[in-house]
Amino acid sequence: MRLAEKVALVTGGSRGMGRAIALGFAREGADVAVNYRSHEGEALSAVKEIQALGRRAIAVKADVGRGGEVRAMVDRVIQTLGRIDILVNNAGIMKRTPLLEISEAEWDAILDTNLKGCFLVTQAVAREMVKRRSGVIINMSSIGQQVAARNMTHYNTSKGGIAQLTRQAALELVDHGIRVNALCPGLIETDMNRQDIAQEEFRATRLAGIPMKVIGTPEDVVGPALFLASDESRLVTGTHLFVDAGLTMI
C-alpha cells in the first residue's frame, strides 16, 4: 500500500480522471475527500466505491474558483478526515472557441476554474500542510501548457499559468516539506471531449498527430499520479510529468 494512512483531496473528483485517481489512491490505502461542484450523485457513488474498499471518504461541494467555498471545503475535510496529505488540483473546464470569438465571460470562466481555482485550493490546503511540515500537491495541467492548439487560447493559457504556478508553489513551499508537481495528460477520453472524439474527422486528425496512436483512458493517469503522490517521488518537485503518448516530443 503506497498511500497507507494518507488523506487525499481530489477536486473535480466525481468524474473522469479525478474519479479514477480518487479510486486509485483509495486502492493504495488513502482516505479520500471527493470534491464536486454540481454532480452530487456521481460524487456520492465515488464515495461509496471508496468506502467499499475499506477507506474513509466524503463528498464535499465547492466551486474551486470561489475562495469562500474553497476555505469551507478545506475546513470540512480537516474536521472530518483530520488532515490533508495529498491534494490533486484536478477540477477543470474546457471550451473550443476561436480567439477572435472568445467572450470576456468565457475567458473568465475558464481562467477562474482552471488557474484561479488551482491557486485558491493550493493556498488553502498548503496553509494546513505547513503546520505539519509535509504534503504533496499534484496539479492537473495539460500538454496545452507548452504547445499551441487552434481554438484553445483560453484553456491553454490557463494550463500555461498552472505550469508556472507549479514551479512557484514548489519553490515557496519546499522549505515546508511540501512537494508540488504537474501532471500533463495528452488526449484522454472523458466527458470533457467525448463528443469531439465521437466525430470521425476530429478523431482521425488527432490520432494522426499522436506518435503512439492511442487515445488514453482515465486509468492511464492513475499510475503517474500515484508516483507523484507517494514517496517513490520524494526527490521530485517543481516538475512536469507528461502522459501524452509522445505528443509533445514532435
Q: Which residue numbers are catalytic?
A: 155
Which alpha helices (DSSP H) does 31-182 contain, by range? 40-52, 67-81, 104-111, 117-132, 153-173
- Specify the pairing of strand 57-61 against strand 86-89: unpaired
CB of 109 to ligand NAD, least distance (A): 9
Rg value, the chain, Cα: 17
Q: How far is the CB of 12 from ligand NAD (least distance, A)?
A: 2
User: In terms of CB distance, is 135 or 218 closer to ligand NAD?
Assistant: 218
User: For ligand NAD, which is the closer residue by CB, 112 or 128?
Assistant: 112
Please report how close the Cβ of residue 114 comes to ligand NAD at its closest, in angstroms.
6
Residues that bind ligand NAD (CB under 6 A): 11-12, 14-18, 35, 37, 39, 63-65, 90-94, 113, 117, 140, 142, 185, 187-188, 190-193
Nearest to 140 by CA among 184, 192, 188: 184
Toward ligand NAD, which CB reaches closer, 27 or 61? 61
Comparison of 219 and 232: residue with beta carbon closer to ligand NAD: 219
Least spacing, CB of residue 233 vs ligand NAD, in Å? 19
- Candidates 140, 123, 194, 117; CA nearest to 19 is 140
Element (H, E) at 10: strand 7-10
In the bound state with ligand NAD, the residue whose beta carbon lies nearer, of 134 and 164, is: 164
Q: Which residues of 185-205 are buried (b: 16+ CB within 10 A; e: fewer)?
A: bbbbbbebbeeebeeeeeeee
Q: In angstroms, give the least distance from the CB of 177 to ligand NAD.
A: 26
State the Cα–Cα distance between residues 187 and 243, nearest whole angstrom: 9
Would you call 152 exposed, middle or buried from its count of C-beta atoms within 10 A (0-12, 13-18, 19+)? buried
Q: Cα angle vertex 166, ends 163, 170, to 5°?
A: 150
Tell which residue, 88, 100, 115, has the closest CA to residue 20.
Answer: 88
